[in-house]
Amino acid sequence: MATEFRFGVGVTRGTSRAALEESARRAEDLGFDVLHVPDHLGGPAPFPVLTAIAMATATLRVGTFVVNAAFYRPALLARDVAALHELSEGRFELGLGTGYVKEEFDAAGLRFPSAGERVDHLRWTTDYMAEHLPDVPLMIAGNGDRVLRIAARSADIIGFTGGDRPADGDADPLAERIAFVRAAAGERFAELELNLAITAMPVDDSGVPDLTIPRISLPGLTDEELLRHPGVLSGSVEEIAERIRGYRERYGISYLIVQMRHAEAFGKVMELLRQSQR
């Protein structure tokens, strides 16, 4: 199991080349390890944006969080992955997901496959990448049994997208999902890096997170439930750092991703966490 922390930051808005390069260099200066771009219609195009960022930085890794696998035929996706892997001098990490937004398929003129078909396509894509691009680190993000089985079998990094911090005496959904992966991966589990995306955290001294993003991504949860979600952080810099240490100790999660709007605030958290590792 990975024990050293890694930290990523996500770019969700398309901006000018100069603005992207400035953001990427700032992320590198703050100490982030990876810069991510998602794959949604209406957002930035992952591969050209990540190529520009890779060319403007020296050590920052770049990745997709995550490619909608159902949008692509594996061979065509592999062509773009191979090019970015080469242009970034091996700094690219491929993140894959099943795709889930029906409106994006409609906008692209594509049939929206069933959940089972999308998982089948993810498995096909994963197998193709493993065969043709084994040197590219692979992340799979999801929450369902079938997706997590594929991740346990084939991924280097597993992104957990569900879960809820338990109240006293309650069940722990995130712990259950990690236990599921542990059982599915067997001896391979020790080699996996476990990831969690942070969707909300304080950006000032109030200690109160802005819930705008999780309200959109998790519309079925109340604000009280969102505040318990592992991807929502509250409190002071010290309290957040302690919570993240707890994620590593309790769950084995050592790779955290935040949004660009959180980068400056999270930089202070990273500094505390890395000081404790020295």
| Domain-located, residue 1 | no
Of 148, 161, 132, residue with least CA distance to 188: 148
Q: Please give the pLDDT value at position 15.
A: 78
Of 26, 17, 68, 18, residue with least CA distance to 9: 26
Give per-residue pLDDT as tens, 75-106. 999 999 999 999 999 999 999 999 999 999 99
Q: How confident is the model at residue 14 (pLDDT cuts 50, 70, 90)?
A: confident
Q: Please give the pLDDT value at position 168.
A: 59
CATH of the domain at 254: 3.20.20.30
| Domain-located, residue 103 | yes
Pairing of strands 253-259, 34-37: unpaired
Q: For residue 231, is pLDDT > 60?
A: yes
Report the number of distinct structural domains present in the chain.
1
Q: How confident is the model at residue 1 (pLDDT cuts 50, 70, 90)?
A: very low
Of 216, 213, 258, residue with least CA distance to 240: 258
Mean local confidence (pLDDT), 254-271: 96
Of 135, 124, 244, residue with least CA distance to 195: 244
Q: Please give the pLDDT value at position 171.
A: 84
Give per-residue pLDDT as tens, 23-44. 999 999 999 999 999 999 989 9
| Domain-located, residue 78 | yes
Bond into 208 cis (ω within 30):
no
Q: How many Å apart are CA 48 and CA 127, to the nearest integer? A: 24
Structure tokens at 82: 């191979």
Domain that holds residue 172: 6-277
Give per-residue pLDDT as tens, 163-205. 766 665 678 999 999 999 999 999 999 999 999 999 999 999 9
Of the two residues 14 and 110, the one the predictor is more confident about is 110
Of 48, 67, 180, residue with least CA distance to 125: 67
Q: 3-state DSSP call for residue 138?
A: strand
Cβ atoms 240, 209 nearer than 8 A: no
User: Considering the entire predicted model, what is its pTM?
Assistant: 0.95
Cβ atoms 177, 133 nearer than 8 A: no
| Domain-located, residue 182 | yes
Give the CA angle between residues 234, 269, 37 to the nearest 5°. 90
Q: How confident is the model at residue 218 (pLDDT cuts 50, 70, 90)?
A: confident
Q: How many Å apart are CA 134 and CA 138, to the nearest integer? A: 9
Beta carbons within 8 Å of 91's beta carbon, 6+ residues apart:
54, 59, 60, 61, 62
| Domain-located, residue 80 | yes
Q: How far apart are the first and last CA of the chain?
A: 19
Cβ atoms 124, 74 nearer than 8 A: yes
Q: How many Å apart are CA 140 and CA 125, to the nearest integer? A: 11
Q: What DSSP letter does each residue of 172-240 carry, written as one string?
A: -HHHHHHHHHHHHHGGGGGG-EEEEE--B--SSTT-PPP-HHHHHH-TTS-HHHHHHSTTB--S-HHHH
State what percent of residues in the chain have pLDDT above 90.
88
| Domain-located, residue 197 | yes
| Domain-located, residue 227 | yes
| Domain-located, residue 39 | yes
Give per-residue pLDDT as tens, 15-26. 799 999 999 999
The segment with the largest mean pLDDT, out of 14-18, 123-127, 217-221, is 123-127
